[in-house]
Structure 1
Amino acid sequence: MKLVEKYFPNLLSEQIHKLSSLKDLYAYWNTYVNLISRNTFYDFYQQHVLFCLGIAKVFSFFPGSYVMDLGTGGGFPGIPLSIIFPHTKFILVDSIQKKIQILKTIIHCLDIKNAYPICIRAEKLESKFDFVVTRAVSKIDNIHNWIKNKFKYKSNSKIKNGSFYLKGGDISEEIKKFPHAIVYSLNHYFQEPFFFTKKVIWISNI
């Protein structure tokens, strides 16, 4: 947690408390359902929380915006982002019911008021969103096809409505079809070696 506070020094005490409580909650529930890889749990705050908060380093969601966390799995990046942006509404979407049920419990325990887990495939959602966030669910081209009709027409932000992808490794092939994509290398924001190949990719829906 000290690593998160290092890069986000202006967190409120309530936000610090909620983020600090995450590891124990996930340690407990991960024994029942594989919410996150047990091989990476030792590095929980770096590989999961801080990585997801890389989105918060490149963009600030405006109050009242509506965000889908596609393929949320164990609640990443939706839960950390919902703590950082308490006035933004996050819809955590996954097709695995047992994960969604546990996420509801975690969110209740943390008293998070702006995150809503839903068991559904993204393609079947009828809602329209300002933004979509996702972490390593599939190739960008696949995800883009799933969500291309899920955006509100009007943007209330300084940038167009669109999607943020958390990725690692070489993404050059994945973004060839998206020449307007903007790639943010997280090693510009975080010093640890883990982030040398980690990126946030922004693609507008236009």
Structure 2
Amino acid sequence: MNLLQHYFPDLTAQQLKLFKQLETEFRATNETINLVSRPDMENFTERHLLHSLAIAKVVNFPKGSTVLDVGTGGGLPGLPLAIMFPDVQFHLVDSIGKKIRAVQFMAAALGLDNVTAEQTRAEQVRQKFDFVISRAVARLATFHPWIARRYKPQGVPGAGLYYLKGGDLTEEIAESGLKAKVTNLSDFFSEEFYETKKVVFVAAK
């Protein structure tokens, strides 16, 4: 957890406790449901917790806002961000039932009452949100149409998609035809893992 404290010095003792508990729950769940690979599990704080929280380096979700996490898998990035922003409502969706059940179990074990989780596809979600987050589910041109109509009409400042991606995204962004702002995570984190990692922001319309 020292890594989290290093990059997020304002975390409370309760938040640090919850991050530690999340890693414990995630590790136990990963033994029965393959949420992440074994090498990644050995670097869970660096490659999953910190990576999820990277979104918080780019946007500060306002109190009372709502966030949709698409293709959440084992609850990433939604669960770590829900710990970071306890006054923000997170709705985590994935098409795989056993993963969503695992997310529901972990959220309940941690007492995260600002988290709901549902087995569904992004394009079938009917509610509207201030923000959408996701972790490299598909190419931007494929992904964005799924969530383009999921925003509340009276959006809050900074409303839109915050998409965790890696590598050279020049061609992918051009292909999508979207106006996107790319933030390099190497600007915030010195670990080698983050050299090619980015957050792509596409404003809500």
Whether TM-score is above 0.5 comes out as: yes
The 2-side partners of 1:18 and 1:32 are apart by: 22
Look up the match of 1:144. Answer: 144
Q: CA deviation at 1:179?
A: 5.1
Look up the match of 2:170. Answer: 172
Look up the match of 1:162. Answer: 160
Q: CA deviation at 1:183?
A: 0.6
TM-score normalised to structure 2 length:
0.96
Deviations 1:95-147 (A, max 9, x none): 11111111111111111111111111111111011110000111111110111
Give 2:168's aligned amino acid: D
Aligned residues: 204
Q: CA deviation at 1:16?
A: 0.6
Could you tell me which runs of 5 or more consecutive residues in structure 2 were left unpaired when the two chains were aligned: none
Look up the match of 1:195. Answer: 194
- Contact conserved, 1:178 with 1:203, CA < 8 A, in 2? no
**Cα gap change, 1:75 to 1:173, in 2 (>3 Å):** same
Give 1:98's aligned amino acid: K
* Within-5 A mapping of 1:105-120: 105-120=105-120
Give 1:100's aligned amino acid: I
The 2-side partners of 1:32 and 1:145 are apart by: 34
**Cα gap change, 1:107 to 1:152, in 2 (>3 Å):** same
Q: CA deviation at 1:200?
A: 0.5
TM-score normalised to structure 1 length:
0.96
The 2-side partners of 1:163 and 1:80 are apart by: 17
Q: State the identity %.
A: 41
Deviations 1:12-32 (A, max 9, x none): 111010001122111111111
Q: Over aligned residues, Cα RMSD in angstroms?
A: 1.0
By percentage of residues, which structure has more helix?
A: 2
2:128 is the counterpart of 1:128? yes
Deviations 1:67-113 (A, max 9, x none): 10000001000000000000110000001111111111111111111
3-state SS, counterpart of residue 98 of structure 1: helix
